[in-house]
Amino acid sequence: MHFSENEGIEGKTFLVTGGLGHVGSALCLDLLRRGAYEVRAFDLRTTSPWYHLLHHKGVVFIQGDITKKKDVERAVRGADCVFHIASYGMSGKEMLQLSRVDEVNINGTCHVIEACVEFGIKRLVYVSTYNVVFGGKEIVNGNESLPYFPIDDHVDSYGRSKSIAEQLVLKSNGRPFKTIGYPVNTFEFIEPLLKSLDYDLPKSRLAVTRALFLGKIFSVFYSILYPWLNRWWLPQPLILPAEVYKVGVTHYFSFLKAKEELGYVPMVSPREGMAATISYWQERKRKSLDGPTIYAWLFCAIGMSTLFCAAFLPDIGPVPLFRAYQSFLHAVDSDNKNGIHSCCSSTHR
């Protein structure tokens, strides 16, 4: 069965959860281009790099939390189709916020399903991830017949939660369709992008087993810092186990079924896609790619380790020195706050 480009889209109202993200915003714009009557972007954020373009094109913004049923119902009401893209915990510090990952990816999906049932929405498109079938073991030219990776064996909460959510969607009357693509080496793929932005290419290699060991160290360290994972001053971990598997273990999938049943044809070639990506990042002058330097990360790691030692370890070795240093910083901070308060009080007088 083959469909025309605009079939089922023209004159319809669509809701896109996570509509201010990279994928969500692109989908919103494409739906409008194909004749949608109304496109709604439902997102927790109030702005994004694509906000002004979406607003200019006529996308309707609905600010809300996918984990709050009332917010989801308000967004879904009156839609003809829902694209559920919103998720949490795919990479970095987010991966370690286990409760939030489950709350967004599982509970949020339940709210979307329930709202669709309640308001009679006949079409729900759930955007899943290859992680529902991939857990660090090689996959060559995989297809829709692959079984789900065992829930208890997932190396990260993101893959586990997305797998549970996908199965919940399918139980509500859907058909499974996994990630599709073609084989490509990750580093060969991003090399043109790095070169175009004047970044140095990797000069050394690290075996997967050693990278996994390093990732586990970072995972343990950042788990200790769990209460501060959302703080801006805490840089992203250098690497985590799930990310090692993503870039270090072969896994790619066939789009044959999509081609045969849906008439799928890539609209943009890999070369064209990379050229557009390079142009986009060059316009932004690399700023959004640049993260904290290794010095910033070391400063944070040493500071948090010193604080931990001063708070919990007995007075042995350098611990008294750490404790004295932390007390000094606390005193300086208190003096600064008192000085500011006194200055403000004097001004008001």
Q: Which residues are catalytic?
A: 158
Q: Where are the alpha helices (DSSP H) in the chain?
A: 22-33, 51-57, 69-76, 98-102, 108-118, 157-171, 186-196, 208-224, 241-248, 256-262, 270-283, 294-312, 319-348
Look at strands 123-126 and 38-43 and give their pairing: unpaired
User: Rounded to whole angstroms, how far apart are CA atoms 17 and 111?
Assistant: 12
Residue 253 main-chain phi, psi, to 5 deg: -130, 155
Taking alpha carbons only, the member of 132, 95, 126 closest to residue 108 is 126
Encoding tokens for residue 236? 């992203």
Contact assessment for residue 84 and residue 126, using Cβ atoms and an 8 Å cutoff: yes
Contact assessment for residue 50 and residue 119, using Cβ atoms and an 8 Å cutoff: no
Distance from the Cα of residue 225 to its chain's centroid = 20
Amino acid at position 104, single letter: V
Taking alpha carbons only, the member of 93, 113, 87, 100 closest to residue 174 is 113
